[in-house]
Amino acid sequence: MTLLSVLDLSPVTGEATQAQAVRETIEVARAAERLGYHRLWLAEHHNIAGLGSPNPEILIAAISQVTSTIRLGSGGVMLVNYSPLKVAETFMELEALAPGRIDLGVGRALGADGRTGGALRSVGSEAFPRYFQLLAAWLLDASGKVPIPEGHPIHDIRANPSGPSHPDVFVLCTSEESATFAGMMGVSMVFAEFIARAEGGPAIAAYRRAFQPSEFRREPWAGTAVVAYAAETEEAGWRGDAVRRAATVSMLSGHRRRFADVEGAEAFLAEWKGSPLLADVEGRTIAGSGEAVRARLEAKAQASGAQEVFVMATGPSLEERIASLALIAPR
């Protein structure tokens, strides 16, 4: 049976504030652990009104203190926005707080538009391979696995706190190119299908072809991340997903907009009825009853070769997000 995990973006639902959305993610984490999900991952987004958290590492720290079994990670940290040393230090500290439960997923995008990336002082995605190699070296050194050799430019610069273990490392992928890089680095990968708007199979196959064993992983491991929403009936599941579909159509049409309720979302979608854009969004939608959604997720895993499926926790409200996760949860 395919492993199931949760990806939460701290969405702002209804009339909530972004601050409330951050606190709601902690409740999603409690529920995900109780329901038996394997991991909870948190994402990094900047300057987006409908998403609350730009700092997954802070939420991971908070959630590590109210959970005990579920793995916690970033899906992901946008590495080129930061110093690799700082990222290594942050996640070694998280590993110290929750040993054996921390995942470090990194991406090469900005998690923001170009101007916001400039305000973050991002160095741009072309620096990702170099930044990743520095990050990996500091993590392996801090955990005592592979000391940084004398003569290396970062020799004698330590990522503290040191410890007997380091986070599991993943590259978040939206293309065969990034998947190939993950394979060559010998780390795990997750294909962000909801961002790429494409099936994950080709990228996962490219990753497996390129995989080279490393100190991080001896065998390839691949996951895929999708959006899914479940309710008690097919009709209720489709209707409850209207807010997400409307927001997606709005974003893809170049006019990002947040919808506070299902009625407003349905009215907006009615304006796009018959359009190729709405047809594409609806064609990719996974919504319906819990049984139907679970079957779709298992079929997607089998078709793509993914060993784990991350389900983005969506819904018109916190209560409906958690209810959806309960219906989709591992059986």
Phi–psi pair at 75, nearest 5 degrees: -130, 55
Q: What's the gap between Cα 131 and its chain centre? A: 20
Q: Does domain 3-234+287-328 have CATH number 3.20.20.30?
A: yes
Burial of 239 (0-12, 13-18, 19+ CB in 10 A): middle
Half-sphere exposure of 27 (CA within 13 A, CB side): 14
Distance CA 46, CA 43 (A): 10
Question: What's the confidence (pLDDT) of residue 258?
Answer: 85
Report percent pLDDT > 70 for the chain. Answer: 100
For tokens 């390129």, name the residue: 210
Distance CA 251, CA 249 (A): 5
Burial of 150 (0-12, 13-18, 19+ CB in 10 A): exposed
Element (H, E) at 192: strand 188-192
Which of 67, 8, 33 lies closest to 314 in space, CA to CA?
A: 8
- Mean pLDDT score of the chain, rounded to an integer? 95
Q: Summarize pLDDT for 111-130 with one digit per residue, the tens.
A: 778 888 889 888 988 999 99
Half-sphere exposure of 165 (CA within 13 A, CB side): 14
Domain range annotation of the chain: 3-234+287-328, 242-284
Q: What are the beta bridge partners of residue 51?
A: 11
Q: Summarize pLDDT for 186-218 with one digit per residue, the tens.
A: 999 999 999 999 999 999 999 999 999 999 999
Q: What's the gap between Cα 114 and its chain centre? A: 21
